[in-house]
Protein backbone atom coordinates (compact mmCIF):
# COMPACT_ATOMS: atom_id res chain seq x y z
CA UNK A 1 0.00 0.00 0.00
CA UNK A 2 1.28 3.47 -0.82
CA UNK A 3 1.79 5.94 1.97
CA UNK A 4 -1.05 8.36 2.73
CA UNK A 5 1.14 11.22 1.41
CA UNK A 6 1.40 9.61 -2.03
CA UNK A 7 -2.23 8.53 -2.23
CA UNK A 8 -3.54 11.94 -1.13
CA UNK A 9 -1.25 13.74 -3.61
CA UNK A 10 -2.38 11.59 -6.54
CA UNK A 11 -6.06 11.72 -5.57
CA UNK A 12 -6.00 15.49 -5.15
CA UNK A 13 -4.33 15.96 -8.53
CA UNK A 14 -6.76 13.66 -10.35
CA UNK A 15 -9.81 15.18 -8.61
CA UNK A 16 -8.78 18.52 -10.11
CA UNK A 17 -7.19 17.54 -13.44
CA UNK A 18 -9.35 14.64 -14.67
CA UNK A 19 -12.68 15.72 -16.17
CA UNK A 20 -13.18 13.18 -18.97
CA UNK A 21 -15.16 10.56 -17.03
CA UNK A 22 -16.34 9.75 -13.53
CA UNK A 23 -13.45 8.50 -11.42
CA UNK A 24 -13.44 6.01 -8.57
CA UNK A 25 -10.80 5.37 -5.93
CA UNK A 26 -10.37 2.26 -3.83
CA UNK A 27 -13.18 1.72 -1.32
CA UNK A 28 -14.77 5.14 -1.90
CA UNK A 29 -18.37 3.96 -2.39
CA UNK A 30 -18.46 4.63 -6.14
CA UNK A 31 -21.28 2.85 -7.96
CA UNK A 32 -20.89 2.22 -11.71
CA UNK A 33 -23.57 3.92 -13.82
CA UNK A 34 -26.77 1.93 -14.49
CA UNK A 35 -26.35 2.51 -18.22
CA UNK A 36 -22.77 1.57 -19.12
CA UNK A 37 -20.64 4.62 -19.82
CA UNK A 38 -16.89 5.17 -19.48
CA UNK A 39 -15.37 5.57 -16.01
CA UNK A 40 -11.99 4.98 -14.38
CA UNK A 41 -10.96 3.05 -11.26
CA UNK A 42 -7.70 4.25 -9.68
CA UNK A 43 -5.46 2.09 -7.47
CA UNK A 44 -2.25 3.35 -5.89
CA UNK A 45 0.28 1.05 -4.30
CA UNK A 46 3.86 1.17 -3.10
CA UNK A 47 6.16 -1.70 -2.34
CA UNK A 48 8.82 -0.49 0.05
CA UNK A 49 11.00 2.26 1.39
CA UNK A 50 14.55 1.85 0.14
CA UNK A 51 17.44 3.56 1.88
CA UNK A 52 19.17 5.83 -0.66
CA UNK A 53 21.86 7.40 1.52
CA UNK A 54 24.04 6.40 4.42
CA UNK A 55 26.01 8.16 7.09
CA UNK A 56 23.43 10.20 8.94
CA UNK A 57 23.78 10.02 12.70
CA UNK A 58 20.20 8.77 12.99
CA UNK A 59 19.37 6.14 10.35
CA UNK A 60 15.89 7.58 9.90
CA UNK A 61 17.36 10.90 8.73
CA UNK A 62 19.00 9.30 5.70
CA UNK A 63 17.30 9.64 2.32
CA UNK A 64 14.57 7.03 1.84
CA UNK A 65 12.78 6.32 -1.45
CA UNK A 66 9.23 5.02 -1.67
CA UNK A 67 8.31 3.52 -5.05
CA UNK A 68 5.13 2.16 -6.52
CA UNK A 69 2.53 2.35 -9.23
CA UNK A 70 -0.62 4.21 -10.09
CA UNK A 71 -2.97 1.81 -11.87
CA UNK A 72 -5.85 3.30 -13.85
CA UNK A 73 -8.48 0.79 -15.00
CA UNK A 74 -10.40 2.47 -17.81
CA UNK A 75 -13.86 0.96 -18.14
CA UNK A 76 -15.88 1.35 -21.35
CA UNK A 77 -19.12 -0.33 -22.44
CA UNK A 78 -18.69 -3.92 -23.56
CA UNK A 79 -18.68 -4.45 -27.32
CA UNK A 80 -17.63 -0.90 -28.23
CA UNK A 81 -14.02 -1.74 -29.13
CA UNK A 82 -10.86 -0.64 -27.38
CA UNK A 83 -10.20 2.72 -29.05
CA UNK A 84 -12.10 4.82 -26.51
CA UNK A 85 -10.47 2.94 -23.63
CA UNK A 86 -7.02 3.52 -25.15
CA UNK A 87 -7.83 7.20 -25.66
CA UNK A 88 -8.77 7.68 -22.01
CA UNK A 89 -5.80 5.60 -20.84
CA UNK A 90 -3.46 7.77 -22.92
CA UNK A 91 -5.04 10.93 -21.51
CA UNK A 92 -4.39 9.72 -17.96
CA UNK A 93 -0.80 8.81 -18.82
CA UNK A 94 -0.33 12.25 -20.40
CA UNK A 95 -1.51 13.96 -17.18
CA UNK A 96 1.43 12.44 -15.31
CA UNK A 97 4.12 11.93 -17.97
CA UNK A 98 7.35 13.56 -16.78
CA UNK A 99 5.54 15.35 -13.97
CA UNK A 100 6.48 15.95 -10.38
CA UNK A 101 3.22 16.31 -8.48
CA UNK A 102 3.96 17.49 -4.98
CA UNK A 103 6.81 15.23 -3.89
CA UNK A 104 5.80 12.37 -6.22
CA UNK A 105 7.83 11.91 -9.43
CA UNK A 106 6.32 9.94 -12.32
CA UNK A 107 8.58 8.03 -14.69
CA UNK A 108 7.64 5.14 -16.96
CA UNK A 109 4.10 4.37 -18.06
CA UNK A 110 2.36 1.69 -20.07
CA UNK A 111 -1.06 0.92 -21.45
CA UNK A 112 -2.05 -2.72 -21.22
CA UNK A 113 1.41 -4.01 -20.19
CA UNK A 114 1.22 -7.62 -19.04
CA UNK A 115 -2.53 -7.31 -18.61
CA UNK A 116 -4.67 -7.46 -21.74
CA UNK A 117 -8.03 -5.76 -21.90
CA UNK A 118 -10.73 -7.83 -20.29
CA UNK A 119 -14.49 -8.02 -20.60
CA UNK A 120 -16.42 -8.32 -17.34
CA UNK A 121 -20.18 -7.97 -17.31
CA UNK A 122 -21.20 -4.74 -19.03
CA UNK A 123 -17.65 -3.36 -19.31
CA UNK A 124 -14.37 -3.78 -21.14
CA UNK A 125 -11.29 -2.80 -19.12
CA UNK A 126 -8.02 -1.34 -20.39
CA UNK A 127 -5.34 -0.67 -17.76
CA UNK A 128 -2.75 2.11 -17.73
CA UNK A 129 0.13 1.82 -15.27
CA UNK A 130 2.44 4.64 -14.16
CA UNK A 131 5.55 4.15 -12.04
CA UNK A 132 6.27 6.75 -9.35
CA UNK A 133 8.77 7.47 -6.60
CA UNK A 134 8.92 9.80 -3.62
CA UNK A 135 11.95 10.69 -1.54
CA UNK A 136 11.73 11.39 2.18
What is the rounded CA–CA span in Å between residue 17 and residue 10?
A: 10
Output the tens digit of pLDDT for each of the chain's 136 residues. Answer: 678 899 999 999 999 999 999 999 999 999 998 889 999 999 999 876 665 555 545 555 566 778 999 999 999 999 998 999 999 999 999 999 888 999 999 999 999 865 555 556 888 999 999 999 988 7
What gap in Å lies between CA 106 and CA 68, rounded to an integer?
A: 10
- Residue 93 near residue 83 (C-beta atoms within 8 A): no
**Contact status, residue 34 vs residue 17, Cβ threshold 8 Å:** no
Of the candidates 76, 64, 12, 71, the residue with the CA atom closest to the CA atom of residue 39 = 76
How many Cα atoms occupy the beta-carbon half-sphere of 91 within 13 Å? 16
User: Model-level pTM?
Assistant: 0.85
Amino acid sequence: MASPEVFDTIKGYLDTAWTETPIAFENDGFEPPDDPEPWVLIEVFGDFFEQESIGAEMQTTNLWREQGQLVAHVMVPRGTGSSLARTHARAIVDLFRGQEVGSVVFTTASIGASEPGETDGSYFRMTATLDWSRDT
